[in-house]
Structure 1
Amino acid sequence: MEHAAVNHDSKEGQNMTTNTIKEPKPDWIRIKLTTGDNYQEIKSMMRSKTLHTVCEEARCPNIYECWANRTATFMILGDICTRACRFCAVNTGKPTELDLQEPERVAEAAENMGLRHCVITSVARDDLADGGASIFAETIKAVRTRMPLCSVEVLIPDFMGNWDALQVVMDAKPDILNHNIETVERMSNRVRAKAKYSRSLELLQKAKQMAPSIPTKSSIMLGVGEEWDEILQAMDDLRAVDCGILTLGQYLQPSPKHLNVLKYYHPDEFVVLKEEGMKRGFNHVESGPLVRSSYHAHEQVKSAEAVAKS
């Protein structure tokens, strides 16, 4: 399907993002299936250590590429989320799992994989007093103990605004603190469950205040009804709290019960958005249809460090 050019300064261009007609998936949304030895080895390792990955649970389109390259994003605190965000494929319900040995198993798996950059995320655990912050901290420490040269990135929930819990994570000194705003302010209540746009920005701000030297990162998914100027405003909001790394990707509907895709952004539009982000002072912007928060995470870190030093 040929993608029509969008005039982002016109009402016509803006209205395209609120079109309720379901668009067919365009040609540029293609996933390369690579299920060789590395993919199978990592899958077997995750099962043998009773570990979860966001790659599987969230049905990430890059799982084949990443696992073939021996990279994965560990998902701690079980695989049942206490929230039911309307874009997310992770199971929702009442969690039954809190495994205090999980940090050590994650560290062992990361060591076996020979990771240089380890990404750790979790389901939301609003049933826990600290939202799981202590398990995040223990996982960071366990990875560092086994692999002192491996950088550690954490993608955390908002802990319902519990800043003491955030302090626990920051005290463990991750190399990157990642928290996703997910969408623009106007769409936030429709897209996310319990999370608040302003609270997410406050979390990123608090993280920088607690540990100014630790880079912060966030992500926006596109295609759920946002307008072009709202994306730019979200960038400005992130820069206002000194967020240094941004990822932008296309929302893909994981099942019929989730939000419909209202627009597929053309790769050229992602290029323009990357330019807009860099103009606003981000140290790195990863922007493309299949980009996800942890996609090429190690390369993002190196690029952001190079810009910060220049």
Structure 2
Amino acid sequence: MQETEAEAGRLVQSVVPEASQSANLSGNSSGKRESPWVNLPEWLRRPIGRASDISTVQQIIKQRQIHTICEEGRCPNRGECYAQKTATFLLMGPTCTRACAFCQVDKGHAPMPLDPQEPQKVAEAVSLLRLRYVVLTSVARDDLPDGGANWFVQTMTAIRQHNSETQIEVLTPDFWGGQGSQELQKQRVGTIALARPACYNHNLETVKRLQGPVRRGAKYDRSLRVLSLVKEFNPAISTKSGLMLGLGETEAEILETLRDLRSVQCDRLTLGQYMRPSLDHLPVQKYWTPEEFDRLGAIARELGFAHVRSGPLVRSSYHAGEEG
């Protein structure tokens, strides 16, 4: 949804484009496009944060022509994160080479060439915003020889040169692609792991059964392998993954996924509600309640996750700096 800074401090996001909850993953059975507006549950309404926190970040980002997933993905928590001196930078441009059916990020046309100054620009933004914890993520760049792995490292290096106390978390694609994809994936993940991020995050996004319709071009086992490879290169690096709930998964499938994540020694977990960005995206099948999220979070802790964030508005980087 579009949110305006003028409404800071007021409750927003009271409605969101949604198809009927009886619709399946490909739409409703009648073939008719239903009303795009339904009321959100009360627990999904929240203040967006102070206008000053949001506008300051937006100005610095815009001046340097860099991107944050906070803005590109219209994250509902961005005002809160900015106030806590945390932000998630979107590297390598705003255009993704894949077409995941849940994602708000731009796709469907050729991505831009890399900006050779981007690592330095991000480092400058981190300094100006006095960020204590930074998350670096990217669109999938299957067009690049290394999938963008070295770009992550260049940006980490630039940040550390100017901000030695700032902790850096990475949230990467699966780095699958090219001839000999399995070995290339290992090399690319290793490139970043050897640069020693504070945390390495790669999201499964959904349960195994729903990977096809939700994550086009990705595979469940490939994503588990990313997390496993990080531990092979450096067992001391905390690994993290996240799931969106509300796409039609069952609780049994969620628990199976959590056990699979623990089987590759995943340390940290985020569970949040999927919210449909537009009618062109997958419909929500269920709004999980705060009580259900609390119960799943408790189970995750029992399974051995060291850090768990579980709630309707939780996203991958939510309160990330508190986990380090």
Same fold (TM over 0.5): yes
1:201·1:238 contact (CA, 8 Å) conserved in 2?
yes
Q: Distance in 1 between matches of 2:22 and 2:219?
A: 22
**Unaligned residue ranges in structure 1 (runs of 5+):** 1-16, 302-310
Whichever residue aligns with residue 131 of structure 1, its letter is: G
Match runs of 1:222-241 below 5 Å? 222-241=245-264
Deviation digits for residues 87-119 of structure 1 (CA, Å, limit 9, x no counterpart): 000000211231121111111111111111111
Total equivalences in the alignment? 285
| Equivalence for 1:25 | 40
5 Å-filtered alignment, 1:7-86, equals 20=24, 24-86=39-101
Indicate the residue corresponding to 1:203 in structure 2. Answer: 226
State how far apart, in whole Å, the 2-side matches of 1:137 and 1:33 are.
32
State how far apart, in whole Å, the 1-side matches of 2:301 and 2:22 are.
26
> 5+ residue gaps in structure 2?
1-20, 29-33, 177-181
- Is 1:155 matched up with 2:178? no
1:54 and 1:163 map into 2 onto residues whose CA distance is 26
Q: Is the 8 A contact 1:286 1:300 kept in 2?
A: no
What residue identity is the alignment partner of 1:292? R
- 1:120 aligns with 136
Aligned partners of 2:91 and 2:136 also within 8 Å: yes
CA distance in 2, matches of 1:67, 1:116: 11
Give the conservation status (yes or no) of the 8 Å contact 1:38–1:69. Answer: no
- Give deviations 1:226-278, integer Å, cap 9, x for gaps: 00000000000000000000000000000011000000000000100110000
Which residue, 260, 268, 284 being the options, matches 2:291? 268
- Answer with 155-164 or 41-50: which moved more: 155-164
Counterpart in the other structure of 2:113: 97
The structure 2 residue matched to 1:133, chosen from 113, 132, 149, is 149
The answer (yes or no) to whether the contact 2:85–2:132 under 8 Å persists in 1 is no
- Give the match for residue 169 of structure 1: 192
Equivalent residue, structure 1, for 2:179:
none
For 2:293 and 2:48, locate their aligned partners in 1 and report how far apart those are by CA, in whole Å: 23
What is the CA-CA distance between 1:164 and the residue it aligns to? 0.9
In the other structure, the counterpart of 1:12 is none
Identity rate, percent: 47
Is 2:322 the counterpart of 1:299?
Answer: yes
Partner of 1:255: 278
Provide the C-alpha distance between the structure 2 equivalents of 1:95 and 1:218, rounded to a whole number of angstroms.
26
Q: Could you tell me how far 1:24 is from its partner in structure 2?
A: 4.4
In the TM superposition, residue 25 of structure 1 has moved relative to its aligned partner by: 1.9
The structure that is helix-richer by fraction is 1
- What corresponds to 1:11 in structure 2? none
Match status 1:286 vs 2:309: yes
Rounded to whole Å, the distance in 2 between the matches of 1:271 and 1:187 is: 23
User: What one-letter code is carried by the residue in structure 2 that aligns with 1:279?
Assistant: E
For 2:61 and 2:85, how far apart are their aligned partners in 1? 12
Q: Deviations over 1:184-229 (max 9, x none)?
A: 0001111001110000001100111011110000000000010000
Structural RMSD (CA): 1.6
SS of the residue 2:240 aligns to: strand
Structure-2 change in CA distance of 1:284 and 1:90 (3 Å) = same
Counterpart contact for 2:241–2:269, Cα < 8 Å: yes
Residue 145, structure 1, aligned to residue 134, structure 2: no
Please, what TM-score do these two structures have when normalized by structure 1?
0.89
Are 1:157 and 1:179, in contact at CA under 8 Å, matched by a contact in 2? yes
Distance (Å, rounded) in 1 between the aligned partners of 2:82 and 2:319: 12
Q: Deviations over 1:100-152 (max 9, x none)?
A: 21111111111111111111100000001111001001111111111111110
Contact 2:87–2:133 (8 Å) recurs in 1: no
For residue 115 of structure 2, what is the amino acid of its counterpart? D
Maintained 8 Å contact 2:23/2:283: no
Counterpart code for 1:141: T
1:219 aligned to which of 239, 242, 266: 242
Contact 2:44 2:312 in 1 (8 A): yes
Distance 1:211 1:18 in 2: 45
Of the three residues 106, 109, 119, the one matched with 2:125 is: 109
Q: Which residue of 1 aligns with 2:12?
A: none
